[in-house]
């Protein structure tokens, strides 16, 4: 990379770096301690998941889609079943909608608690990390009780859910939520007073509201910049159309706001859970469907814990999808990370990166960029093969 | 020192972690663990193999006389085979400690009793 002046240096960060949990490469141009520019290189954990969908039936795809991300497993699976059910054009039982909402909110609580812990860890406050992860165990145990798995829940099927909630499970969830509400309220009161976190978070990684919109940020990152946008409210799926809840926003536009948004969202999720448990309709939990999906295409959106998750499905009428495309929330947040890091200090890079709750392997795609014209495009394997044959033949 | 109350409270509590493998975690009922096939009920239709997302089941032989193999290393413990089986020949137990040191021990064979 060409230096901007004699005073600037290029600092490579990753793909293997102690501050990053997943391999990704960032090239920072720095002037002293200040970051002048950042170039993000994705693609170290490309797994070819989208292609793998084309070789699997819709039933097998159910479990593959969860493995896009171990933490947003339910969000990805919900997006997948919404797509397939829309193509089959079928209404699923209302009880299944409510159970999906309950599991999705449990997952949001677990993801946000995990993130609060990671944020504490990144600023060197490991006590918060231990406490947040201890509380997360409560949710993971509830997940195991309701779905059978702690992560990768496998709770949905095409046409409903796989396991019903018994009255014992409901009372256990209620008990767990009571405990978590108490603990989260405690963190909420404690975090703004605790200098260990606030000194590292206030005014760090600023993302102005107009930048957040222009750079297409999603989820808590966007809401911490004061923009009220949430798929659950704007385009409701499952039982969110009947569930009252507030979209949490903060105006700080910095890492501290991103912490507070997530802590408040945990409380909001507990509210949604309690409402859903109280208004859980009776009836069947799934409908039997014929194998195979009619030809057509569909796009569905789900609010994953990290932001808006978009899936596209194209079916050709067989029992396997013709094309499946995933836009995970982290991919949408990368451009915003550039804006957050520029002008900040090198030492703040780990917490700013962690603040978007990045999930690298969800994000990796094979994209070709032509350096001279800065043109970018994506190729399928056949197109790539055709191009290589043509180029070699020259 | 915003956490002092929490710190004092934790002093009197026992650790949140367990000393596995000496102390074992009681599996929660309904937890998805070991896959067990009742081979006498199996009719060899192969539906479980068609639906398995991880290619963890294998049929040895054909039709009603087949034997079944379950690969622990491939299984993702989703329980789809249990749901698919038309004869309810497959059940899922809550056993979770399935790790082994040898790869050969991680393939479980369900063989039909020899008819005399």
Task: Name the band, by pLDDT with cuts 50, 70 and 90, for residue A372.
Answer: very low
Nearest to B16 among A128, A134, A148 (CB): A134
- A364 compared with A61, residue with greater pLDDT: A61
| Closest residue in B to A58 (Cα–Cα) | B51
Q: What is the CATH number of the domain that holds B40?
A: 3.30.70.3270
Contacts of A163 in chain B (CB under 8 A): 30
Please check whether residue A156 touches B, CB under 8 A.
no
Please check whether residue A64 touches B, CB under 8 A.
yes
Q: Is residue A308 a contact partner of residue A76, using CB atoms and an 8 Å limit? A: no
Q: Is the pLDDT of residue A223 over 90?
A: yes
In a domain, B64, yes or no: yes
B31–A162 C-beta distance less than 8 A: no
In a domain, B1, yes or no: no
Contacts of A154 in chain B (CB under 8 A): 32, 78-80
User: What distance in Å separates residue B114's CA from the closest CA in chain A?
Assistant: 34
Peptide bond just before A329 cis, omega within 30 deg: no
d(CA A118, CA A292): 42
Of B30, B10, B107, the residue nearest A164 (C-alpha) = B30
pLDDT at site A230:
92
Give the mutation candidate from A148, A149, A188 for the B interface (greatest B CB count, under 10 A): A148
User: What distance in Å separates residue A154's CA from the closest CA in chain B?
Assistant: 6
Contacts of A149 in chain B (CB under 8 A): 31-32, 77
Q: Is the pLDDT of residue A377 over 70?
A: no
Per-chain mean pLDDT for chain A: 85
Q: B18-57 in b/e burial notation, b at 16+ Cβ within 10 A?
A: eeeeeeeeeebeebbbbbbbebeebebbeebeebbbbebb
d(CA A276, CA A288): 24
Nearest to A162 among B29, B53, B83 (CB): B83
Q: Summarize pLDDT for A28-83 with one digit per residue, the tens.
A: 787 877 888 888 887 788 888 888 999 999 999 999 999 988 888 999 999 999 99
Nearest to B3 among A127, A149, A163 (CB): A127
Q: What is the CA radius of gyration of chain A?
A: 22
What is the domain range of residue B98? 28-110
In a domain, B20, yes or no: no
pLDDT at site A25:
78
Q: Summarize pLDDT for B3-38 with one digit per residue, the tens.
A: 677 778 888 888 878 888 888 888 888 899 999 999
pLDDT at site A367:
46
Q: Summarize pLDDT for A307-359 with one digit per residue, the tens.
A: 999 999 999 988 899 999 998 888 888 888 888 888 888 778 878 888 887 77
Task: Give the count of domains, chain B.
Answer: 1
In a domain, B11, yes or no: no
Q: Is residue A341 a contact partner of residue A205, using CB atoms and an 8 Å limit? A: yes
Structural domain A56-335, CATH architecture? Orthogonal Bundle (1.10)
User: What distance in Å separates residue A34's CA from the closest CA in chain B?
Assistant: 31
Mean pLDDT of A291-301: 89
Contacts of B6 in chain A (CB under 8 A): 131, 186
In a domain, B69, yes or no: yes
Which letter does DSSP use for residue B105 in this model?
G
Helices A94-122 and A73-88, packing angle to 10 deg: 150
pLDDT at site A375:
52
Most confident region among A22-31, A127-136, A288-297 by mean pLDDT: A127-136
The ranges assigned to domains in chain A are 56-335
């Amino acid at each position: 990379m060409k230096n901007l002046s004699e005073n600037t240096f290029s600092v490579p960060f990753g793909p293997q770096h102690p501050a990053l949990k997943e391999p990704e490469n960032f090239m920072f141009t720095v002037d002293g301690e200040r970051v002048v520019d950042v170039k993000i290189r994705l693609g170290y954990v490309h797994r070819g998941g989208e292609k793998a969908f084309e070789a699997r039936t819709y039933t097998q795809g159910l479990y593959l889609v969860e493995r896009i991300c171990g933490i947003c497993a339910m969000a990805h699976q919900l997006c997948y079943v919404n797509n397939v059910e829309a193509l089959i054009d079928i209404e699923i039982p209302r009880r299944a909608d409510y159970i999906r909402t309950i599991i999705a909110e449990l997952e949001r609580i677990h993801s946000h608690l995990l993130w609060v812990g990671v944020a504490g860890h990144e600023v060197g406050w490991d006590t918060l990390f231990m406490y947040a992860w201890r509380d997360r165990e409560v949710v993971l145990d509830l997940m195991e009780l309701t779905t059978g798995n702690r992560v990768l829940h496998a709770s949905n099927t095409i046409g409903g859910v796989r396991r019903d909630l018994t009255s014992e499970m409901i009372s256990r969830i209620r008990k767990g939520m009571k405990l978590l509400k108490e603990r989260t309220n405690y963190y909420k009161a404690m975090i703004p007073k605790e200098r260990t976190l606030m000194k590292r978070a206030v005014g760090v990684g600023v993302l102005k509201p107009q930048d957040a919109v222009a750079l297409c940020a999603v989820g808590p990152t966007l809401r911490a910049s004061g923009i009220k946008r949430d798929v659950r409210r704007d385009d409701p799926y499952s039982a969110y159309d009947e569930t009252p809840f507030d979209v949490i926003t903060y105006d700080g536009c910095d890492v501290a706001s991103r912490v507070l948004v997530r802590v408040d969202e945990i409380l909001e999720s507990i509210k949604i859970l309690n409402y859903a448990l109280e208004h859980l309709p009776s009836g069947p939990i799934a409908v039997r469907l014929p194998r195979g999906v009619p030809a057509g295409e569909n796009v569905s959106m789900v609010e994953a814990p990290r932001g808006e998750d978009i899936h596209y499905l194209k079916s050709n009428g067989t029992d396997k999808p013709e094309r499946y495309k995933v836009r995970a929330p982290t991919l949408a947040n990368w451009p915003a990370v550039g804006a957050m890091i520029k002008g900040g200090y090198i030492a703040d890079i780990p917490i700013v990166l962690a603040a978007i709750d990045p999930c690298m392997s969800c994000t990796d795609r094979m994209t070709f960029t032509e350096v001279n014209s800065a043109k970018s495009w994506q190729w399928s394997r056949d197109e790539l093969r055709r191009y290589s044959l043509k180029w070699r033949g020259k | 020192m915003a956490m002092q109350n929490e710190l004092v409270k934790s002093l009197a509590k026992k650790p949140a972690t367990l000393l596995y493998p000496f102390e074992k975690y009681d599996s929660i009922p309904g937890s998805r663990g070991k896959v067990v096939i009742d081979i006498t009920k199996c009719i060899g239709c192969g539906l479980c193999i068609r639906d398995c997302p991880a290619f963890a089941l294998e049929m040895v032989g054909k039709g009603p006389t087949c034997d079944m193999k379950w690969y622990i290393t491939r299984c993702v413990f989703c329980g789809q085979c249990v749901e698919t089986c038309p004869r309810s020949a497959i059940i899922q137990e809550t056993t979770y400690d399935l790790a082994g040191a040898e790869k050969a021990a991680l393939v479980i064979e369900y063989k039909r009793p020899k008819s005399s």
